[in-house]
Chains A and B, each alone.
Chain A
């Protein structure tokens, strides 16, 4: 309950932030597709690893956060971790790296932040920091940006999941929330499967047409899908009214 409330509140705050700063145009994924990702050094606390070691065996999903964030990071992380839980397969089909983009962050603070945002230990996410030079390289390569808000310790930044396979960007998911279905498609694309179509993140849509259940692949009954039943229901109502209500007695 309380968490839910804070999430909403934080969402509201981040919304106001982005409004106040004039929302920059959303990232154009196309400009980054199949571009190489620099092989930077990641500090995971215990060890230092090369980023390339994370995409060697399986694709990699990369998310950016920073530990002091009072805005969109935590609701975003929560939706991301929920989506990952729904589709499953971390460490088997893909790796997940949560990378801090605040060079003053230390690894334990970032960890603590992730725990608070709902990512638990046995989810096998890799959490790491990196140095300023490498950070610049990776954010440039993936189209990520951030800037300080006034004199505060808060940073303005977009949210995105970058999908990497064989050292190249194959998909970038934007949008304020990570839907399991989007993540599932991304993982399939990264693994080289043929995905016929996927929706781009877009807010402000009245009704979405189809959403498929990432686990079963079946089309879910969303508000959008319900609309197809309206004409059928309309027919039934009219028929019932005319034939059984208004003219009960006809032979």
Chain B
């Protein structure tokens, strides 16, 4: 490939990528451990289940958020100039936050789940210090990411006016000035990200108020804040990933994704809708005003329209009869969009209040989000990371093992999530360390299936790592 002028974020991106992939392997291992536990194959380690679940959940949500964000920064260097210092700061503080959370979970046995629903952190079997440490870890991550997002928006603002960054000139029918869709997508996502992080900060403040005073918090208010933050951060990771695809995919297809009226409308619309979709986490809380439940279903349904019409359809259109070069990166990204679509269907079905009555907090929930994570965002980011190491190390793009990795990954990944879907349809609850009751006696069977396919998936991830790490070392030396 043609050598580009060196991207100033090459070095920090290399570190981000390596950290994310290594943590991914560790966390995926914890995931397998959970499935093993649920299949009753490891009696005796039961008590570690919920700690593993907490660490796996917060870890995965965290690394794929930073994975996408780091990817976005690397791409963005083409258009804007985020601060290098801030990148280093975010990297170091993120790692610090992770370490603090690790201490809380591993030594302090903190196990309130990744979104630590109030008031469980105060009522568990773990010591108070581990709750404080966990909240502290979250605070560090929150601050770190706030700074990161702020800097990104600053960099955008130095180059674009707000309405241009958001692509409003296209909405009003003009073609000038040109804003790449990448900028529009990431700007809307980063703005929404602020909302998520600010609500996380409020949440943490409330927790610390309760620790410091006699005051109690309203469980409903806390739950709203929790899911506003949790839902947003996970969804925005996906949008950031999609933004990357918009920008990188054309390099493979030779066709370009132009910003136009439809693209701009779609992404501005998404920014608005994604703020209200979180209501669907509270359908079974009858204390929530009914209009919010309606709004939740409407927002969840309609937010699928821009995704399907613009991003998914757009990907298909850009590939159709193109001269695309298929390799590990492009296949992963293309199939990642497919996984996003399929997971999205699972999500839309469950965001129907009437369906949620029977699917709420069953394994259907991990089923759909693991689909758009494992088969969606993770594929996109893994594909993209590979693209980046190739680019930095200036190697050629052909990789003989890629067929095997891809095949294993698909079979393992889809088999793994299928076991979740089937279990969900059998009313098997999520977040159970074991399925001991008669009414949920199909649970262990689906856990075994999940474990089997999960192992294939794990193998694929390991193979990917070997191939990736090879190129990574090369890239590292190129930079020296």
Q: Which residues of A contact B (CB under 8 A)?
A: 196-199, 202, 204-210, 212, 219, 224, 227-228, 230-232, 234-235, 238-239, 242-244, 246-247, 250-251
B194 A238 Cβ-Cβ under 8 A: yes
How far is the CB of B223 from the nearest CB of chain A, in Å?
A: 9
Could you pull out 25 A-B pairs where Cβ atoms are within 8 angstroms? A196-B287, A197-B285, A197-B286, A197-B287, A205-B218, A206-B209, A206-B217, A208-B218, A209-B224, A209-B287, A210-B288, A219-B291, A224-B218, A231-B196, A231-B199, A235-B194, A235-B195, A238-B194, A239-B153, A239-B162, A242-B150, A242-B154, A250-B160, A250-B161, A251-B161
| Interface secondary structure of A, over-half rule | mixed
Name which residue of chain A comes closest to B161, CB basis: A250
A242 B194 Cβ-Cβ under 8 A: no
Q: Say yes or no: is B202 at the interface (Cβ < 8 Å to chain A).
A: yes
CB neighbours (8 Å) of A219 from chain B are: 289, 291
A210 B228 Cβ-Cβ under 8 A: no
10 closest A-B pairs by CB: A209-B221, A231-B195, A197-B287, A197-B286, A196-B286, A243-B162, A242-B157, A209-B220, A234-B198, A231-B198
Q: Say yes or no: is B158 at the interface (Cβ < 8 Å to chain A).
A: yes
Interface string of B146-173 (1 = CB under 8 A from A): 0000100110011111100000000000
A204 B224 Cβ-Cβ under 8 A: no
Query: Quick one: which of B191-247 are within 8 Å of A by CB?
Result: 191, 194-196, 198-199, 202, 206, 209-210, 214-218, 220-221, 224-225, 228
How far is the CB of B273 from the nearest CB of chain A, in Å?
A: 14
Query: Quick one: which of B427-458 are within 8 Å of A by CB?
Result: none
Name which residue of chain B comes closest to A234, CB basis: B198
Q: Say yes or no: is B26 at the interface (Cβ < 8 Å to chain A).
A: no
CB neighbours (8 Å) of B214 from chain A are: 204
| Interface secondary structure of B, over-half rule | helix
B225 A205 Cβ-Cβ under 8 A: no
B220 A210 Cβ-Cβ under 8 A: yes
A205 B289 Cβ-Cβ under 8 A: no
Please count how many residues in chain B sit with their CB below 8 Å of the partner chain's CB atoms.
37
Contacting residue for B150 out of A205, A210, A238, A244, CB 8 A: A238
How far is the CB of A193 from the nearest CB of chain B, in Å?
A: 14
Name which residue of chain B comes closest to A196, CB basis: B286
Roughly how many angstroms separate A231 CA and B225 CA in the complex, as a whole number? Answer: 10
A207 B286 Cβ-Cβ under 8 A: no
Q: Say yes or no: is B290 at the interface (Cβ < 8 Å to chain A).
A: yes
CB neighbours (8 Å) of A199 from chain B are: 287
CB neighbours (8 Å) of A204 from chain B are: 214-216
Query: Quick one: which of B271-287 are within 8 Å of A by CB?
Result: 285-287
Contacting residue for A250 out of B157, B209, B289, CB 8 A: B157
Roughly how many angstroms separate A246 CA and B150 CA in the complex, as a whole number? Answer: 13
CB neighbours (8 Å) of A238 from chain B are: 150, 153, 194
CB neighbours (8 Å) of B196 from chain A are: 231
Given A234-B198, A235-B194, A246-B154, A206-B290 contact (CB < 8 Å): no
A231 B228 Cβ-Cβ under 8 A: yes
A205 B215 Cβ-Cβ under 8 A: yes
B221 A227 Cβ-Cβ under 8 A: yes
CB neighbours (8 Å) of B287 from chain A are: 196-199, 209-210
A242 B199 Cβ-Cβ under 8 A: no
Name which residue of chain A comes closest to B162, CB basis: A243
Roughly how many angstroms separate A26 CA and B150 CA in the complex, as a whole number? Answer: 48
Name which residue of chain B comes closest to A210, CB basis: B289
Given A197-B286, A205-B216, A231-B194 contact (CB < 8 Å): yes
Roughly how many angstroms separate A206 CA and B209 CA in the complex, as a whole number? Answer: 9
B218 A247 Cβ-Cβ under 8 A: no
Known: A230-B198, A234-B194. 16 other contacts (CB 8 A): A196-B290, A205-B215, A205-B216, A205-B218, A209-B221, A210-B287, A230-B199, A231-B194, A231-B199, A231-B228, A238-B150, A238-B194, A239-B191, A246-B157, A247-B157, A250-B161
B198 A206 Cβ-Cβ under 8 A: no
Roughly how many angstroms separate A239 CA and B210 CA in the complex, as a whole number? Answer: 32
How far is the CB of A234 from the nearest CB of chain B, in Å?
A: 4
Of the listed residues B160, B214, B217, the one surrounded by the most CB atoms of chain A closer than 10 A to its CB is B217
A228 B157 Cβ-Cβ under 8 A: no
Interface string of B175-205 (1 = CB under 8 A from A): 0010000000000000100111011001000
